[in-house]
Structure 1
Amino acid sequence: MSPTPSSTVSAPADHTVDVLVVGGGINGVGIARDLAGRGWRVLLCEQDDLASHTSSASTKLIHGGLRYLEYGEFGLVRKALMEREVLLRSAPHIMWPLRFVLPHDASMRPAWMIRAGLWLYDHLARREFLPGSHAVALDRSPLGGPLQPGWRKGFVYSDGWVDDARLVVLCARDAVQRGAKVLTRTRCAHITAEGHGWRAELLSRDAHTGDTVRRVSVRARSVVNAAGPWAEHLLRQVMRVQTPGNHGQGGQGGVGNPGRLRLVKGSHIVVPRLFDHDHAYIFQGQDRRIIFAIPYETHYTLVGTTDVEWRDDPARVAIDGDEVAYLCRELGRYLARPIQPADVVWSYAGVRPLLDDASGNAAAVTRDYLLQARAEPAPWLTVWGGKLTTFRVLAEQAAHQVGALLGEPRRAWTADATLPGGDLAGVMCEPLQPGQALSQYLGWLLTRYPWMEVELLQRWARTYGSEVPRLLEGASTCAELGAEVAPGVFERELLHLVEHEWAQTGDDVLWRRTKLGLHLDAAGREQVRQWLRQRAVQSFVRMRGVGA
């Protein structure tokens, strides 16, 4: 569809699109992907790297949110539960089922109440392959082995795990494959209503120096504000749009303060593996906050999260010593082998942009979302709040509303779609069992590529899924994967991350596209950073036509 003619004459734009999406977190890339798949011309800009803030700092769960039942958020929990298996099918290499162990603390609530809540959790939405909940005698089960002897009764239930930062990148790649443009490290400096649409000025910066290297002009028929913690700033300071009331849909009803965000910091720590089995634990702190202990990157355990009000710049968020001590202390109530702050090998923190529901307790703030759409002064939509598990349905509803604003609703399509790397069955040409697809696929890879080191092939399978055969095309030895830049890290992988996944810096590769930062020593991490810096210099030289 051609854009609506402007009532004024203006300078040509570098890009003319139907929708400008601002924000490269999970909601932004999910919306860009959905819109592009419906045939709209889409451009997404992100001021930093993809998933560089909230969307890489989650607890990395695909879950209904068992604890939200206690706050009466049955609609949100049901919506999230309905999405679990949809998401798990879409990218089984980066998402898989996970069983959770909940030790029963009689001082918090009676066992019958836990059973009732888990029954509801099992039945609020249809399950096809995730098993239901059951009670467990922890004093007679290996699941109780890591716990202090006093924890005798517990419950086991299902949810899922996800590599959150890779989920964002795969959605962005899918959007591009369907025609969208994605510009990272590109800040939206100005958005001005122009005729029946918008004119935006974007500033792209160098990933290594921070210098502005390019100004980009965009003419868009509509704007989607998916800036997460910066959504209010973008709407009121960059777009200068007033929001007198709430006429959105999709998430929470009866919101106390529509169109306002409440920033809540969540922090996590990573420690050497605390238990040998493949289940996760969900503990309740003495302050009634929830703490997860999750198997992570084979050799580690991920522990989190905290809920702390945040009133500073979201870009400055960091875990503090009190939070580390809190997580260690609360784990000590449950585990036979307590951990100390000195055991922490990595930590991270993120700001959750939650929809302000006037709750006094940060842990009780709703994780639901609101989509606020307007046609004046030109079509725009803002995403308020949300959570990782509901990103796809949020994007679907947002795309419906954008289509309505543009006068041409188009059909939804993402419910049955796979993400790049997710079609494991298609590569193997055989059906796979849901929940077991990754292990079956890995067995197929080990037979097909016996020359690959098992640990390396396992990591590639979990990272790149069905794209592994393409990445290995033409190679029959590891030497044919290019130089080994760091132990187990070959040039072919780094080139893929740079050329197809927007990676530019060491942190992009080591902590977001992969978690190699946990597995390499300081020298190995620096070797990866140096390779990327040298690659950036070579690209600059080629671009300028300098040298031989």
Structure 2
Amino acid sequence: MDTETRKATTALRERPQADVLIIGGGINGVATFRDLALQGVDVALVERSDFLSGASAASSHMIHGGIRYLENGELRLVHEAVTERNDLLTTAAHYVRPLRTTVPIFSTFSGLLSAPLRMVLHRKTASTERGALLIKVGLIIYDSFSRGGGRVPRHTFRGRRRSLRELPDLNADVKYTATYWDASLREPERLGLDLVRDGVALGGSRARAANYTSAVGVDGGKIVLRDEVTGEEFPFAASVVLNAAGPWTDLANEALGDATRYMGGTKGSHIVLDHPELMQATGGREIFFEHSDGRIVLIYPLNGRVLVGTTDLEHDMSEPAVCTEEEVDYFLDLIGHVFPSIPVDRSQIVFRYSGVRPLPGHGDMAAGFVSRDYRIEEATLPGSDGVPVLSLVGGKWTTFRAVAARLADELMSRIGRTRVRSTKGLPIGGAVGFPRTDAERDAWVHHHLSDFGAERGTRLLHRYGTHALAVAASLRQDAQDAPLSSLPRFSSGEFRHIARTESIVHLEDILLRRTNIAFRGEATPEVVEEVADAVADVMGWDAATRGTEIDRALAAVHAADPVAV
């Protein structure tokens, strides 16, 4: 199997040292890897599973400023997040788009007194409902943070009559709606992969990133890495180490011989529905609102489906994070609260997923009030000659570039390096040269992909950004390329290209993270078999391995499904 993953792991084993070793291939780890590579730093990254397969894969698929964090008093974080959101609308335009967001409001004055108490006490008060005046104040502050960005329109307020005219399926008890703009993140895992590939391209042989490679111990001041495919272990030396393992940060430190207690992440689950009536009811916008328990939740059209989330529950990291039947009941109830005339049941759920937020330990503080900001903790690698280990505690998807910039500066200060280039405003991966308007996209497809036809060319651009050029070149050389009979919006040649160039190890990597096949509920046994057939030769799978990969992929895709009795 001579794939990109094997090449990367071999490169680590053949040159087992770097100035910086990053442990964790989630969004903050890969963004820091890219930043350091841009500065010319000798950097290596290892991820025990697939890139972007942990907390970063379990997001609500949004790039947002976090308006609700204003209530926690986290003004700095909200300002930073709004600024980064505006930047990503340009630097990641292939996957990040403006998202119209509407808040149904059922009272006028509720929350004016309790909100300040919640901000100070960080716990629920007698009244948790946020009324129109409180939301209006929050949106004015939120809009003020966008000044100078000019990326999205300002908020608007509507009364009951106009609200129901725009969204006729809304709960008739609604008094107002407030509409503002954030941004959607259509393919989070692919954006993370773009960061990895950017780092490798920018850094050359000095930037190495290997998934399915874990840090399992320390020996003689060096970190022991394990190739999770072959089981081989080897020592690796670094001048400074970054632990960016997200909610597993304490477990990663424990493997390095340092028992820390930094983390206290909470679980968030989502369900995905194939429900055209509910999709139409949203009016193509996110519905973002307060449920009866005070939790802020969402109903969100995405990738031809409707995403519903999210919970905020305490979680034991020794247990897998799964979306429970109780959480599904909660989601069905919240949909009924906003769209009471639209029937929804479990049969319409095509996918469910859950993850743990990388939040700091918070004692008795209510989960919803735990800070979403980030900090850096420092220790020394046990048994080493003073090798620093920096642990990232916290961090949001939206602020990954800013977090990475701060981490990169901290890491470089330990090795006597300084920044030579900012990542602000730097396009990511397939956003380089990406056409911004519908007319520009049509012209781009006509110019570059006319031999594929307008429909397929547009689909390739939508799926890969301007990396579609490389995909198309590969497809032109693939004499066996043909649409899948079970899923014709993909072709077999696309999967072979992914297998050769996108660091996959298992079939599930394609279904869950390189495509939205699982998200859309399309990972049927027939589709999974066809995808396996397409990549088996590239991956070097014999008949037995192919069968094992199919079974493993189906189990991974349906891991959160209720067990049939």
User: TM-score band, normalised by the shorter chain?
Assistant: 0.7 to 0.9
What TM-score do the two structures reach when normalised by structure 1?
0.84
**1:362-417 per-position Cα deviation (integer Å, ceiling 9, x unaligned):** 12211111112356731221101111011111110001111111122223421021
Tell me if structure 2 keeps the 8 A contact 1:285–1:291: yes
Alignment pair present for 1:380 and 2:381: no
Question: Deviations along 1:252-299, whole A, 9 cap, x unmatched?
Answer: xxxxxxx6111211000011242333211102110110111111112x
2:374 is matched with which residue?
369
Work out whether residues 481 and 492 of structure 2, in 8 Å CA contact, stay in contact via their aligned partners in 1.
Answer: yes
Q: Distance in 2 between matches of 1:32 and 1:297?
A: 29
- Is residue 243–residue 391 contact of structure 2 (8 Å, CA) maintained in 1? yes
Matched, 1:178 2:202: yes
8 Å CA contact 2:102, 2:287 repeated in 1: yes
1:201 pairs with 2:224:
yes
Counterpart of 1:286, as a letter, is S
Q: 1:524 aligns with which of 509, 512, 527?
A: 527
Q: Deviations over 1:47-76 (max 9, x none)?
A: 000111110110011101111111211111
1:338 aligns with 2:343: yes
Per-residue deviation, 1:23: 0.3
Residue 238 (structure 1) aligns with: 255
Find out whether 1:288 has 2:294 as its counterpart. yes
Instruction: Specify the alignment match of 2:355 in structure 1.
Output: 350
Distance 1:129 1:504, change over 3 A: same
Change (3 A) 1:193 1:228: farther
- Range with bigger deviation, 380-389 or 335-344: 335-344
Structure 1 equivalent of residue 308 of structure 2: 303
- Given that 1:424 and 1:441 are in contact with CA atoms closer than 8 Å, whether structure 2 keeps it comes out as no
Assess if the C-alpha contact under 8 Å between 2:298 and 2:309 holds in 1. Answer: yes
Going from structure 1 to structure 2, the CA distance change for 1:100 and 1:418 (only over 3 Å counts) comes to same
CA contact (8 A) 1:24 1:44 kept: yes
Q: Secondary structure at 1:349's aligned position in 2?
A: strand
Q: Distance in 1 between matches of 2:422 and 2:488?
A: 41
Note if contact 2:106-2:173 (Cα within 8 Å) is conserved in structure 1.
no
How many residues were matched structurally? 492
1:265 to 1:539, Cα distance in 2 relative to 1, 3 A: same
Report the counterpart of residue 468 of structure 1 in structure 2. 468
Aligned to 1:254: none
Q: Determine the structure 1 residue equivalent to 2:193.
A: 169
- Whole-angstrom distance in 1 between the partners of 2:542 and 2:208: 20
* Residues 46-55 or 358-367, more deviating: 358-367
Give the aligned residue type for 2:400: F
CA contact (8 A) 2:24 2:243 kept: yes
In 2, are the aligned partners of 1:504 and 1:532 still within 8 Å (CA)?
Answer: no
Normalising by structure 2, what TM-score?
0.81
Distance 1:474 1:266 in 2: 38
Provide the C-alpha distance between the structure 1 equivalents of 2:160 and 2:442, rounded to a whole number of angstroms.
Answer: 33
Distance change (3 Å), C-alpha of 1:50 and 1:539: farther
Q: 2:273 touches 2:351 (CA, 8 Å); kept in 1?
A: yes
Percentage identity across aligned positions?
A: 30
Alignment-derived partner of residue 114 in structure 1: 135
Stretch moving more, 266-275 or 495-504: 495-504
Q: CA deviation digits over 1:33-54, x for unaligned, max 9?
A: 1111111111111000011111
Deviation of the 1:494 alpha carbon: 1.5
1:535 pairs, out of 518, 535, 538, with 538
Contact 1:32 1:43 in 2 (8 A): yes
Moved more, 176-185 or 442-451: 442-451
In structure 2, the partner of 1:40 is 41
In structure 1, the residue matched to 2:9 is: none
Which segment is superposed worse, 498-507 or 160-169?
498-507
Q: Is the 8 A contact 2:93 2:431 kept in 1?
A: yes
Contact 1:122 1:133 in 2 (8 A): yes
Q: Is the 8 A contact 2:223 2:256 kept in 1?
A: no
Q: Does 1:139 align with 2:142?
A: no
Distance 1:350 1:387, change over 3 A: same
Separation in structure 1 between the aligned mates of residue 259 and residue 507 of structure 2, nearest angstrom = 40
Contact 2:374/2:393, CA 8 A, preserved across alignment: yes
Is residue 55–residue 355 contact of structure 2 (8 Å, CA) maintained in 1?
A: yes
- Compute the displacement of 1:233 (Å): 1.6
Q: Is the 8 A contact 2:478 2:493 kept in 1?
A: no
User: Could you say which residue in structure 2 is the equivalent of 1:264?
Assistant: 266
Evaluate the alpha carbon distance shift between residue 356 and residue 213 of structure 1 in structure 2; reply closer, same or farther with a 3 A threshold: closer
Rounded to whole Å, the distance in 2 between the matches of 1:317 and 1:483 is 37
* Partner Cα separation in structure 2 for residue 457 and residue 140 of structure 1: 40
Q: Alignment RMSD, CA only?
A: 2.5
Distance in 2 separating the partners of 1:193 and 1:87? 42
In 1, the alpha carbon distance for the partners of 2:197 and 2:160 equals: 44
In structure 2, C-alpha distance between the alignment counterparts of 1:356 and 1:438, rounded to whole Å: 44
Task: Look up the match of 1:546.
Answer: none
SS of alignment partner, residue 378 of structure 2:
strand
